[in-house]
Structure 1
Amino acid sequence: MFLTQVFTNFFVYGTDPDEFQHTVNHNTLYFVYLGIGIFAASSLQTFLHVDRGEVIASRIRQHYLQSILRQNIAYFDRVGAGEVTSRITSDVTQIQDGISEKVGLILSGVSTFIAAFIIGFIKCWQMTLVMSSVVVAICLGMGFASALIVKYTTLNLSAYGEASSIAEDVLSSMRNTVAFGSQNRLAKKFEEKLKVCRTAGIARGRVLALMVAWLWTVIYLSYGLAFWQGSRFIVDGVQDVGSLVTVVMAIIIGAFSLGGITPCFQAIGSALGAAHKVYEAIERVPYIDAFLEDQGEKPATFEGHISFKDVKFTYPSRPNVPILNGFSLQVEPGQTIALVGASGSGKSTIIGLLERFYAPIGGDITIDGRPIESLNIKWLRRQMALVSQEPTLFSCSIYENISYGLIGTEYEHADDAVKKDLIINACKEANAWEFIQNLTEGLETEVGERGFLLSGGQKQRIAIARAIVSQPKLLLLDEATSALDTKSEGIVQEALDRALKSRTTIVIAHRLSTIRDADKIIVMSKGSIVEAGTHSELLDHEGVYHQLVQAQNIRAATEHSAEEQIDSDNEVYDEKHPLVKSNSVASSLSVSARIIKDLEADGFYEKKTITRSTWQLVVYVSLSPPFFFSWFNY
Structure 2
Amino acid sequence: MNSMTPCPRIAEFVLIYTCTVGFIYTGEHIAQKIRERYLDAVLRQNIAFFDKLGAGEITTRITADTNLIQDGISEKVGLTLTALATFVTAFVIGFIKYWKLTLICCSTVVAIVTIMGGASRFIIRFSKKNVESYGEGGTVAEEVLSSIRNATAFGTQEKLAKQYDAHLLEAQKWGTKLQMTIGIMVGGMMSIVFLNYGLGFWMGSRFIVSGETELANIITILLAIIIGSFSLGNVTPNAQAFTSAIAAGAKIFSTIDRKSPIDPTSEDGETLEKVEGNIEFRDIRHIYPSRPEVLVMKGVNLFVPAGKTTALVGPSGSGKSTVIGLLERFYNPVGGSVLVDGVDIQNLNLKWLRQQISLVSQEPTLFGTTIYNNIKQGLIGSPFELEPDQSVRQRIENAAKMANAHDFIMGLPEKYETHVGERGFLLSGGQKQRIAIARAIVSDPKILLLDEATSALDTKSEGVVQAALDEASKGRTTIIIAHRLSTIKTADNIVVLVDGRIVEQGTHDELVE
What TM-score comes out, normalization by structure 2 length?
Answer: 0.96
- For 1:37 and 1:142, the matched residues in 2 are separated by 35
Q: Kindly indicate whether residue 14 of structure 2 is the aligned counterpart of residue 47 of structure 1.
A: no
What is the deviation of 1:498?
Answer: 3.1
Cα distance in 2 between the residues matched to 1:239 and 1:309: 90
Question: Which amino acid letter does the alignment assign opposite residue 98 of structure 2?
Answer: C
1:72 aligned partner: 46
Q: Deviations over 1:128-167 (max 9, x none)?
A: 1011012112111111122211111100000110011001
Per-residue CA shift, 1:203-237, capped at 9, x if unaligned? Answer: 11111111111121111111111111111112222
The reply on whether 1:517 has 2:463 as its aligned counterpart is no
The AA in structure 2 aligned to 1:451 is G
Structure 2 Cα separation of the partners of residues 363 and 375 of structure 1: 16
Given residue 231 of structure 2, which amino acid in structure 1 is its aligned partner?
S
Aligned to 1:192: 166
2:253 to 279, 304, 308: 279
In 2, distance between residues paired with 1:360 and 1:278?
29
Counterparts of 1:197-276 in structure 2 under 5 Å? 197-276=171-250
Identity %: 54
The aligned amino acid for 1:246 is T
CA distance in 2, matches of 1:201, 1:488: 52
Counterpart residue number, 2:289: 316
1:156-167 map, 5 Å = 156-167=130-141
Greater Rg by CA: 1
Aligned residue runs from structure 1 range 84-483, under 5 A:
84-293=58-267, 295-483=268-456
Aligned mates of 1:117, 1:33 — CA distance in 2: 29
**8 Å contact from structure 2 (residues 494, 507) kept in 1:** yes
Inter-partner Cα distance in structure 2 for 1:513 and 1:356: 29
3-state SS of the aligned residue for 2:313? strand
CA deviation after TM superposition for structure 1 residue 34, in Å: 6.2
SS of equivalent to 1:530:
strand
Cα displacement string for residues 261-302 of structure 1 (whole angstroms, at most 9, x for unaligned residues): 211011001101101111111111111111112x11111111
Q: Which AA in structure 2 matches 1:339?
A: L
Q: Which amino acid aligns with 2:107?
A: S
CA distance in structure 1 between the partners assigned to 2:377 and 2:425 by the alignment = 19
Residue 499 of structure 2 aligns with which residue? Answer: 526
- Alpha-carbon RMSD across the aligned residues, in angstroms, is 1.7
Secondary structure of the residue aligned to 2:336 is: strand
Q: Which has the higher contact order (CA 8 A, sep 6+)?
A: 2
Q: Contact 1:457/1:483 (CA < 8 Å) preserved in 2?
A: no
1:56-67 to 2 correspondences below 5 Å: 56-67=30-41
Between 115-124 and 508-517, report the one with greater CA deviation: 508-517
Q: Distance in 2 between matches of 1:334 and 1:158?
A: 49
Whether the 8 Å CA contact 1:432–1:458 is kept in 2: the answer is: yes
The alpha carbon displacement at 1:33 in A equals 7.1
> 1:349-377: CA deviations, max 9, x gaps?
10000000011111111111111111110
Structure 1 residues 317-340: Cα deviation after superposition (integer angstroms, max 9, x where no partner): 111122111111011211111111
Partner of 2:293: helix, strand, or coil?
A: coil
With over 3 angstroms needed to count, the CA separation of the structure-2 counterparts of 1:239 and 1:38, relative to structure 1, is farther
Structure 1 residue runs of 5 or longer lacking an equivalent are 1-24, 541-634
Q: Which digits, 9 at most, give the CA deviation of each residue in 1:535-565, with x for residues without a partner?
A: 122222xxxxxxxxxxxxxxxxxxxxxxxxx
- 8 Å CA contact 1:460, 1:483 repeated in 2: no
Give the Å deviation of 1:397. 1.4
Instruction: Tell me how far 1:36 sits from its aligned partner.
Output: 5.0
Question: Aligned AA for 1:435?
Answer: F
1:506 to 449, 465, 479: 479
Deviation larger for 108-117 or 494-503 = 494-503
The alpha-carbon distance between structure 1 residues 211 and 38, as it changes in their structure 2 partners (threshold 3 A), is farther
Quote the Cα distance in structure 1 between the aligned partners of 2:161 and 2:303: 49
Aligned mates of 1:363, 1:250 — CA distance in 2: 74
Correspondence 1:1-16 to 2 at 5 A = none
Change (3 A) 1:519 1:315: same
Contact 2:207/2:213 (CA < 8 Å) preserved in 1? yes
- Please tell me whether the aligned partners of residues 77 and 317 of structure 1 are also in contact (alpha carbons under 8 angstroms): yes
Q: CA deviation at 1:497?
A: 2.3
Following superposition of structure 1 onto structure 2, how do residues 581-620 of structure 1 map, counting pairs within 5 Å?
none
Give, in whole Å, the separation in 1 of the partners of 2:459 and 2:508. 21
- CA deviation vs aligned residue, 1:16-68 (integer Å, no higher than 9, x gap): xxxxxxxxx99xx99x7765554333222211111111110000000000011
- Measured in 1, the distance between the counterparts of 2:41 and 2:168 equals 28
User: Secondary structure of 2:363's partner?
Assistant: coil
Corresponding residue number in structure 2 for 1:586: none
Q: Report the Cα distance in structure 2 between the residues aligned to 1:361 and 1:254, rounded to whole angstroms.
A: 62
C-alpha distance in structure 1 between counterparts of 2:457 and 2:405, whole Å:
11
CA distance in 2, matches of 1:51, 1:81: 29
CA 495–183 in structure 1, closer or farther in 2 if over 3 Å, else same: closer
Stretch deviating more after TM superposition (220-229 or 426-435): 426-435
The number of residue pairs the alignment matches comes to 512
Question: 1: CA distance between counterparts of 2:382 and 2:365?
Answer: 21
Q: Distance in 1 between matches of 2:426 and 2:213?
A: 84
Task: Please say which of residues 37-46 and 415-424 is displaced more in the overlay.
Answer: 37-46
Q: Distance in 1 between matches of 2:87 and 2:7?
A: 21
Q: How much does 1:108 deviate?
A: 0.8
CA contact (8 A) 1:431 1:488 kept: no
Cα pair 2:284 2:336 within 8 Å, conserved: yes
SS of the residue corresponding to residue 320 of structure 1 reads strand
Contact 1:311 1:364 in 2 (8 A): yes
**Residue 505 of structure 2 aligns to a residue in which SS?**
strand
Letter in 1 for 2:20: T
Aligned-pair distance for 1:81? Answer: 0.6
SS at 1:319's partner residue? strand
| SS of corresponding position for 2:427 | coil
Aligned partners of 2:290 and 2:425: how far apart in 1?
29
In 2, Cα distance between equivalents of 1:143 and 1:127: 26
